[in-house]
């Protein structure tokens, strides 16, 4: 009788370990799935945030580019009008210089003054053209 009582606790230990075995496996499987789902959720959330931030940066950079473009065009328009004014001034000085050269006598020579003024206006015109080229 003792043999049967001794085999019974061993048998009960084996059945309890076999009962605990599958529950431990299911428990570990559950945690592995939870960790995997958490990693996937974090990855998808960071991808969403990255896309959102990139979209906002794209919008901001586009707005800044539009502002710079408008400012650039305004400066070009101002410089173009300045160049046109200077060209008309140069043209009138050329006409005046031609007229003075034609009407100059040996006693009066004002063409040097006009020529000096004309060269100064040409220098200013050249500098404005250079600034316009730099802006382009």
d(CA 101, CA 112) in angstroms, rounded, equals 10
Q: Give the tokens for residue 66.
A: 């539009």
Q: What is the pLDDT of residue 1?
A: 46
Question: What are 44-94's pLDDT values in tens digits?
Answer: 999 999 999 999 999 999 999 999 999 999 999 999 999 999 888 888 888
Across 32-36, 42-46, 65-69, 97-101, least confident range: 97-101
Q: In the chain, pLDDT over 70 holds for what percent of residues? A: 76
Q: What is the mean pLDDT of residues 15-35?
A: 80
Q: Among the residues of 1-136, which ranges form H helices?
A: 2-103, 111-135
Q: Are 114 and 93 in contact (CB under 8 A)?
A: yes
Q: Give the tokens for residue 134.
A: 């730099």
Measured between alpha carbons, how far is residue 45 from residues 36, 42, 51 in Å? 14, 5, 10
Q: What is the pLDDT of residue 109?
A: 55
Measure CA of the first residue to CA of the last residue in the chain; give whole Å. Answer: 108
Q: What angle do CA 72, 74, 79 make, to 5 degrees?
A: 95
């Amino acid at each position: 009788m003792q043999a049967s009582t001794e085999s019974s606790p061993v048998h009960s230990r084996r059945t309890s370990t076999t009962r605990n075995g599958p529950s431990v496996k299911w428990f570990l499987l559950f945690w592995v799935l939870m960790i995997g789902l958490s990693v996937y959720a974090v990855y998808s959330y960071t991808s969403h945030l990255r896309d959102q931030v990139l979209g906002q940066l794209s919008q901001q950079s586009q707005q800044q580019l539009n502002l710079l473009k408008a400012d650039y065009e305004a400066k070009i328009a101002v410089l173009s009008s300045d160049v046109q004014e200077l060209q008309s001034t140069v043209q009138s000085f050329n006409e005046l210089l031609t007229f003075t050269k034609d009407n100059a006598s040996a006693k009066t020579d004002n063409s040097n003054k006009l020529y000096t003024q004309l060269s100064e206006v040409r220098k200013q015109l050249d500098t404005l053209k250079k600034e316009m080229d730099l802006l382009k």
